[in-house]
Amino acid sequence: MAAVGGAVRSSMFDSEEERIQHLEKLFDMHINPIDNVDTAVIAIGSAMFGVTFLFLAVAWLKRNFHPIRAKNLPLTTAMFIAGVLWFVGDIPMNGHVLLKGSFSNCKEWNIWVRVLFCFVYTTALISRCYALDRVFIQNRPTRGLIYYLPTVLLLAFVLGYSIVTEALSSKLTIGYDKELELCSTTKGYVYVTLSLLWVNWLIIIFMMIRLRNIQSTFNEFYEFLFICAFGIAAMVKTNVVHYTHPKYPLVRGYRIAETLGDAFVINAIILIIIAYPVVMSIWQPHEYEHTWLLRLRTDGLQNMYDANMNIREDFSQSYARMNTSVNQPAKKMARPNANPFIDMPEYALHVDQNGMATLRAPEPNSPTDETTVTSRYSDHSMITVDEYEKFRHIL
């Protein structure tokens, strides 16, 4: 402890420069002080979340738009909140602020903010995958104890892990070094935590593989493909940095890469899920929704049900339950039991040379015993359901 003018300082150093010089000698490495660059990193990360927040706000305003309703806004919003708290935990733990005052509570910031909500974020992704698996693969509704049990167990495990690490000695997990004003983390704790995060991402990859054959308009295989690519890239980045540079918060380049890398992945995954339907709800709301509903009737549902290309009511209701806001029939429907998926007229989808999709009513004398659909993969010619089924599997 150093005394200055009769006052007792809480640090063994008279200045931040002296502290940095001491750390450089102790760790035999160059150390970058916290400066305006770190403030800019926090601002850039906050701007990323600001953009995502705007998309979510528009999505909630247009929550009755069918393609947006299918994205399960409550779960996506939960992901966003978890991502924000994950980012908040990154700020002190990645070294963008001096670890003094409330920021010196390394254990709480790391366990209950950064790691906990990183797990919650990936758990929300797993829940999203599982909901699609229940509807399209298992042909079961998204309700009941069996549906919620996996998510509850995952969250219970994450909470239990946080409680155990909090109860363990700081010498075994993470603690605050008062003399050096640094967070000290053990390799064992880092490796166990990263291993558990890898397990979460492996579960997501496994679920994605199960969903790869879904060919309906709800097909999110390619979305999850990009999501997994971003997630794995973030995990590889974090593993390499923690393994090769355990003191990375002291080096400007590494701490910037960690924080902005996490912020980018968090927001990119959410935007992959909601950005396109949100943009289309503003740009071409009626055309896109009509095309989306038509695809819902004609694309890929024949293998799920031994019926024609019409959607059964129990299916649409089961999927609607993935979003709590659509558990009950819409108030504006003309009939109490009206279903927008079933009651949609038998229109044909036509794609012109410019790629613009339009709906056309069937000709008065056109055959009614066979469902037809216009495909942009067959020079806009009319093809039967059986032919369309072949095209669907090829494409």
Provide the mean pLDDT of the chain. 78
Model pLDDT, residue 251: 95
Mean pLDDT of all residues in 65-88: 94
Q: Is 359 within 8 Å of 290 (Cβ atoms)? A: yes
Among 219-228, 257-266, 315-324, which stretch is predicted with the lowest mean pLDDT?
315-324
Longest alpha-carbon distance in the chain: 100
pLDDT band of residue 1 (cuts 50, 70, 90) is very low
Separation of alpha carbons 219 and 122, rounded Å: 20
6 Cβ contact partners less than 8 Å away, ≥ 6 residues apart: none
Dihedral of CA atoms 364, 297, 283, 327 in degrees, nearest 10, equals 130
Q: Who has greater pLDDT, 338 or 39?
A: 39
Model pLDDT, residue 218: 61
Separation of alpha carbons 220 and 223, rounded Å: 5
pLDDT band of residue 179 (cuts 50, 70, 90) is confident
Separation of alpha carbons 104 and 233, rounded Å: 30
Mean pLDDT of all residues in 294-310: 46
The per-residue pLDDT for range 126-156, each reduced to its tens digit, is: 999 898 888 878 888 878 888 899 999 999 9
Model pLDDT, residue 350: 52
| CA angle, 270 then 152 then 63, to 5° | 35
Model pLDDT, residue 216: 59
Model pLDDT, residue 354: 54
Q: Which residue has the tokens 């794995």?
A: 232
38: how many CB neighbours lie within 10 A of its CB? Answer: 21
Buried/exposed 309-325: b ≥16 CB within 10 Å, e otherwise? bbbeeebbebbbbbbee
Buried/exposed 250-271: b ≥16 CB within 10 Å, e otherwise? bbbebbbbbbbbbbbbbbbbbb
